[in-house]
Amino acid sequence: MFVRKKKNPSGVVSIQVIDKSNGAYRVVKTIGSSSDVPTIEALYLQGKKWISRYLGEQDIFEQSTRELEEKEVTERLLSNIENILLNGTGLILNHAYRVTGFEEMGDDILKHLVISRLHQPMSKSATVDYLQSYFDEDLQLHKIYRYLDKLYHTIPDRSGFSKSA
């Protein structure tokens, strides 16, 4: 089998897959026709690939070429990503926060503090930086301190120790 470029009287070139068996040429498949040179070359390559598939041939380089193309596409996609928010544990902790009933308080600062401290236990200042950089939450450090003071004075003491000390 081979690919033939046959010029028609109209000036268009037809690309055909030809089989020569029993001394006769037989058209197995017509790939297409065009008068444009790049299109003719593309059709010619398409005919070569069709013969390979028809005969059951496998290109040993096709798999590696495909893998390289996939890798390039993946790298290009990842290079276009500007910001990724990592909040898998946040999703789980948000659900736990709702289930425990704290969501009913309607306090966003408490929610952010609880979830971030469970996920990344660190200082209050580092927590503010963590919330800003990873979750795009804009909390100021002084609001956290004021909130903790308010929380300390409103929640009843259950430990048996005095708050006045």
List the domain range (segments joined by +) for residue 125. 88-154
98/149 same-domain check: yes
Tell whether 163 is covered by a domain: no
98/146 same-domain check: yes
Tens of pLDDT along 142-151?
888 887 888 7
Tell whether 81 is covered by a domain: no
Tell whether 65 is covered by a domain: no
Average pLDDT of span 52-69:
79
92/55 same-domain check: no
Rounded to an integer, what distance in angstroms lies between the CA atom of residue 127 and that of residue 86? Answer: 15
Domain total of the chain: 2
Tens of pLDDT along 63-91?
778 888 999 999 888 887 766 666 677 77
Confirm if 145 and 124 have CB atoms less than 8 A apart.
yes
Tell whether 42 is covered by a domain: yes
Average pLDDT of span 94-108:
79
CA dist 102 → 87, 89, 94, 129, 137 (Å): 19, 18, 10, 24, 19
Strand partners, 15: 5, 32
CB burial of residue 15 (10 Å; 0-12, 13-18, 19+): buried
Rounded to an integer, what distance in angstroms lies between the CA atom of residue 10 and that of residue 77? Answer: 46
Tell whether 27 is covered by a domain: yes
Tell whether 164 is covered by a domain: no
Confirm if 144 and 129 have CB atoms less than 8 A apart.
no
98/138 same-domain check: yes
Tell whether 144 is covered by a domain: yes
CB neighbour list of residue 42: distance below 8 Å, 6 or more residues apart: none
pTM of the model: 0.38
Average pLDDT of span 128-140:
78
Higher-scoring residue by pLDDT: 71, 109 = 71
